[in-house]
Each structure stands twice: as structure tokens, then as C-alpha cells.
Structure 1
Amino acid sequence: MAPDYWADRTVLVTGGLGFIGSHVVEALLGRGARVLCVYRRDKPEVRAEFPVSEALSTMCADILDYDALLVAAETVPRIDAVINCATLDGNMQFLLEQSGRMFDENIRMVSNVLKLARYCEMRDVVLISSAEIYSYESEKPMREEDDHRRHMEFSPNGYRMSKMFTEVAAALYREQFGMRIYTPRPTNVYGPRDDFGTATNHVIPNMLMKLASGEDVEIWGDGSQTRTFIHVSDLVRAILCMVQSGVYETLNIGTQESVSIRDLAYLLAEATGRTNGVRFDPDKPVGAARRALDLERFHSVVDFTPRSLKSGIADTVQWYQKNLQRVR
């Protein structure tokens, strides 16, 4: 049996106490890697969920400060790979109010990670991108080629623009320095440790919080618009498979299972034991009718089948109910 690609490698995970980053840390430890978990804001409750392991080092460092990031990196003898999970994100209101800050900070974090990776001669660099980079005008499943190189368009969404320019930076570093840089593009991600902050959370945690507190979920339009979701643990597995295979520099990550926003709300209501709690506002804008990814490359790379949305929601609701007091 071939040894695990990640075994005995030292991996720097930025944003390591965040939603996606904390799951990356756990997955790497489970694969036998040594992990340097760097975070900007301490979350003792997340650190408490990590396994006790001599292979794990944690350090507080603001990756907007390159010198602080370099100091963190120099606490270990070498770093073989970096997975950048640090990002500033939020719901639509947060995006509209903080777009300039979001673009600025996300680009600076990526710039510092790339600079450090080159300085440390890291073998693998992962910059988590997003399916948000694709044009909002198309309703067909988006292929990896249907990106900013084909449809570069301005958006007032600073998060979306920052992910486009993340991929531009990755392409330029690959070309000039010959670096192995991967930019996975996940669809909507959900699961345990998601962002339940009322100012920044996305659709599933937002609905879940409202249902758990006895409030109604308000759906804009008739809720027929469809989206796809992937559980955070499946996203992490796919990223590790992507790097191990080394076949694709960019990869759509998602599932074939699409769901209407209306049915998503009903699924969450059922999972939380609510018999009602969903109402509609037909006068509000609904966005694109359909957002889907072409997953041909994904299925050629991953070695597992992502869990169903119903199963993933049950897992998320169970975690939320167990941690209800601290996530509020």
C-alpha cells in the first residue's frame, strides 16, 4: 500500500481556527501530517476540539503582516505546503457594506502567503477560491474554463473580486516562478463550525438560527431559485485529493444535488423539529435562477462520494444544537 501523500509533511494552515481551516487541520492530522495552525483571532472552543497531538502547533499571527507570518513559519524547521483558508467573507449585507475592506484584506493575505511560499520553497500552495468567480449571467453548469479569462467582469462584491484576483496572482506566480499553486473553487459550503454571526452568516446558518430561535425564515421571491451545497468535510477531502493527484490547478468542488431555496428551508425546518416557520416575500429580488458547476474534473480526481444534503444538514443541526450557547 502506497504511503499517504500527506504523511510526515509539514503543512501551514492559515485561518486554522476558522470554519474551513479547522477542518483542514483535523483532516491533515488524521492523515499523519505535521500542522502549523496560524490564526488571527483565538477561538479556544475550536482549539479544544482538536486532538491532542505533538504534530500540531498553533500560533496567533496576523497574516496581513508579512513579518508576523514569517516569524510563525520560522517556528518549524521546514514547511512543505500551505493551505490558505484565511479570508474575509460575509452575507450580502456585509458584502455591500464592507466590499472595499474585503477586497483589500483578502488580496493582501494572498499576496503574503504567496511571498512566504516562494521564500520557503514550499512544494504545494493551495489558495481556496470560490465558485463566485463565475459570471452571474449564465445558468448552464460552469466549467473551469468559464472563468475570469473568458468572462472578466466588474462586480461591487469585494469578496468575488478578491477571489478573481487571487486566481490572477496564482497564475502569474505559476508562470514566473514555476510554483505548484492550486485554486479549488467550492460551491456553497456548510457544516459544523460554520459562521453563525448574525452580521456575516450565509444562508444555511442564517436559516438555522432563525428556526432554532422560533423565528420565521423569510425567502425572497417564491424560493424556486436553485443552488448546490457541499459539506465542509467533503470539501476538505476533495482539496487534499486535488493536491495529491496534481492533475488540475483549478477544480470545481460541489455535488450534483441541487436544491431550491424553498426546499432548503423546509429541510432545515424538518431537521430542527419545526412544522412551519417559512414565509415568502415575492417583492424582493431573487438573484440567478440557477447556479451549478460542471463536475467532470471533480469526479475524475476525488476518491469518495460526497454526502447527501439531508445527511449533511442533520450533522450540522446536531452540532449546532450541541453548541447552541456559544455560537449565539
Structure 2
Amino acid sequence: MAKRVLITGAAGFLGSHLCDRFIKEGYDVVAMDNLITGDLKNIEHLFPLENFEFHHHDVSKFVHVAGKLDYILHFASPASPIDYLKIPIQTLKVGSLGTHNLLGLAMAKKARLLIASTSEVYGDPQVHPQAETYYGNVNTIGPRGVYDEAKRFQESMTMAYHRYHGLETRIVRIFNTYGPRMRLNDGRVIPAFMGQALRGEDLTIFGDGSQTRSFCYVDDQVEGIYRLLHSDYSGPVNIGNPHEITIKEFAQEILKLTGTDQKLTHKPLPTDDPLKRRPDISLAKKLLDWEPKIGREEGMRRTFEYFKGLSPEELQKSEHKDFRQHIKR
């Protein structure tokens, strides 16, 4: 009999790719999403399949799924600045109440639960690169705190259930991930830059562009998550690409990729925006025999092809130019 997995946040960027992977592996997939930031178009190709079902539900409310569950993957949460600044209360609730509900469901079903944490638990780090042993530098009452603290609390509650109840749990700390199905208007670096380039606009850099990020292609991220779920390790594991680049250098790469000649413009750096971000993936290499395989050049080419295929109406749906006004210093 096929294993059965519940994936929350299934209509989102990462959640939809996880649905694809588990379908490919022969699982019965139960997808759940309240569609507050997700989009059904990301999973509509799966609806005709007998081993796929979709539940329109908010996991911050009681979660019921009939039948057995072998695994639960909790990916229901706003993950981009434009989202969690607009819906801060929902962001906090899905990380706390939502996680609590799914931990209870995992207990009832005797299922293994994997939660999606984030590199944002490290805040604006004073240790570089960031290893799982680093406790972080986070402003609990800053505008980004609604996301950062929701994820930190999520980790704490998950480990409490693991230690107190013996529940099988896994924690993935996800670093910047990109690829097809990202939303152009979600405020993150890659879709923002690509959307501006495709619309013929100048590329907006916040700060002087010396801040760094490390970008992991979605296929590599999904592979790491899949391996972690099936591992025997209950502590947090970084999954990301350790190849670091400044935002200014990255903007220039985008211009080269898109063949455009726009200028780079600058705006003030948002409050608590991390100046450095690079994962130490030594633990993932050791435990999971995992490291990213897809280089940024190839991954960006695939992502650009996806964005080029969007309609003119979708290209114009951009809010990245003004969302950060709420968190400027």
C-alpha cells in the first residue's frame, strides 16, 4: 500500500514542488492550503490524479484528515516580506497555532512531521557562515519579528513534542530558494529583479548592494527536504546553496541574463534586513549526503524562461516597489 503524506501550503512555491516530488515517488498526496498566498494554478496539473486530493483549509484552525497519514510536511506560512508585513497576525498564527494543530494530528496518526523553518531564525547574523549551532541575532519586536519569531517558536514547540511525547519530527532550515512558480510580486530578490527587467524598469537595490545572499535552486532544495524527511535526525538542518554573492553583483547577472540595459537604483535598507546570508551545509553533507547540484547560471536560466512565459497582465502585477516603505529605518 502506498505511503500517504499531508503537505500544507501545497499551492505555494515550495509546497507545489514537494507535491510533484511525492507524486513522482508514488505517494498518495493530501494537499492543504487556505490560498491566502498560494495559487491553485501551481497544482492544477495534479487534480486529475487518483493519488492526489486537495483540501481548502486554514491550518490555524482544527485540522482533520480522514484515514492514515505516514508523513506531514508543514509548509503553510507566508514566506516573503510583502506577505508577512501585510498579514502579520496570520503569519504568527500559522507558525504557532498551525504548528500545534499539526503536531496534534501527527500524534493522532502516528505520523512523522517535518516543519519548514528558515534561515531567518539566524536574524542579522554575527556568525558567518551560519551553522545550526548558531542561536541567531533576531529583533523580537521589529517588523520582521512576526516571521522570524513564528519560525523560532515553531522549532521550539516541535522539539518539545519530540522530547516529551517521543514524536518523530524533522526540522529543515531553508535558505533563499528560487525557481519556477515564484510570484513576481512577492518582494523577494529574484522575482523582483526579473520582473523589473522584463518590464524594462530599472532594478531597485536596497542599501548599497553589498549585502549578500546565497540562492538554492528549487530542485536541489526539494531533494534535501526529501532526504531529511527520511533520515533519522531530529535536529534542525540547513538546506541551501553556500555560494554567496552580493546583491549588486546579482543584479548585474540578471541584466546580463535578460539582455537588458537598465540602470541600478538605490533605496534605503529595510530595518533588520540581514547583511550576510550563507549556510554552513556541513551537517547536510554528513547526514544526508546532500549538496546542491544545479549552478546559479543554469537555475537562473530555467527561472527566467518561466517568467518569460507569463502573460503581460501577470508581469504588471508587481508590488515590490513600495512594500518596504513600511520598514525603512
Q: TM-score, normalised by structure 1?
A: 0.86
| 1:304 CA drift (Å) | 5.6
Q: Partners of 1:96 and 1:33 in 2: how far apart?
A: 35
Residues 288 and 90 from structure 1, CA distance in 2 versus in 1: closer, same or farther, beyond 3 angstroms? closer
| 1:312 CA drift (Å) | 1.1
Does the CA contact (< 8 Å) of 1:16 and 1:22 recur in 2? Answer: yes
Matched, 1:11 2:1: no
Identify unmatched segments of 5+ residues in structure 1.
Answer: 1-6
Residue of structure 2 in register with 1:317 after alignment = 304
User: In percent, how many aligned pairs have the same letter?
Assistant: 22
Runs (4+) off by over 6 Å: none
Residue of structure 1 in register with 2:322 after alignment = none
Aligned residue-pair number:
309
From 163, 168, 184, the counterpart of 1:196: 184
Paired residue type of 1:78:
K
Does the CA contact (< 8 Å) of 2:240 and 2:292 recur in 1? Answer: no
Residue 12 of structure 1 aligns to a residue in which SS? strand
- In the TM superposition, 1:1-328 aligns within 5 A as 8-41=2-35, 43-50=39-46, 52-66=48-62, 69-70=63-64, 73-74=65-66, 77-91=67-81, 94-96=83-85, 98-122=87-111, 124-147=112-135, 154-156=140-142, 157=144, 158-197=146-185, 200-281=186-267, 284=269, 287-300=273-286, 301-303=288-290, 305-325=292-312, 327=314, 328=317
Q: Partners of 2:27 and 2:297 in 1: how far apart?
A: 31
Indicate the RMSD between aligned Cα atoms, in angstroms: 2.3
| 1:239 CA drift (Å) | 0.6
Q: Partners of 2:184 and 2:270 in 1: how far apart?
A: 24
Paired residue type of 2:263:
G
Residues 179 and 322 from structure 1, CA distance in 2 versus in 1: closer, same or farther, beyond 3 angstroms? same
Residue of structure 1 in register with 2:320 after alignment = none
Residues 288 and 78 from structure 1, CA distance in 2 versus in 1: closer, same or farther, beyond 3 angstroms? closer
Does the CA contact (< 8 Å) of 1:13 and 1:36 recur in 2? Answer: yes
Residue 59 of structure 1 aligns to a residue in which SS? strand
Q: Deviations over 1:119-140 (max 9, x none)?
A: 1111x11110001001424141
Residues 322 and 96 from structure 1, CA distance in 2 versus in 1: closer, same or farther, beyond 3 angstroms? closer
Q: TM-score, normalised by structure 2?
A: 0.86
Q: Partners of 2:269 and 2:11 in 1: how far apart?
A: 35
Q: Deviations over 1:226-279 (max 9, x none)?
A: 111111221111011112222353100111211110111112222222123323
Residue 20 of structure 1 aligns to a residue in which SS? helix
Residue of structure 2 in register with 1:3 after alignment = none
Q: Partners of 1:243 and 1:46 in 2: how far apart?
A: 23
Q: Partners of 1:16 and 1:44 in 2: how far apart?
A: 9
Residues 154 and 323 from structure 1, CA distance in 2 versus in 1: closer, same or farther, beyond 3 angstroms? same
Residues 102 and 165 from structure 1, CA distance in 2 versus in 1: closer, same or farther, beyond 3 angstroms? same
Residues 52 and 244 from structure 1, CA distance in 2 versus in 1: closer, same or farther, beyond 3 angstroms? same
Residue 37 of structure 1 aligns to a residue in which SS? strand
Identify unmatched segments of 5+ residues in structure 2.
Answer: 318-329
Does the CA contact (< 8 Å) of 2:11 and 2:42 recur in 1? Answer: yes
Bigger drift between 79-88 and 47-56 goes to 47-56
Bigger drift between 47-56 and 77-86 goes to 47-56
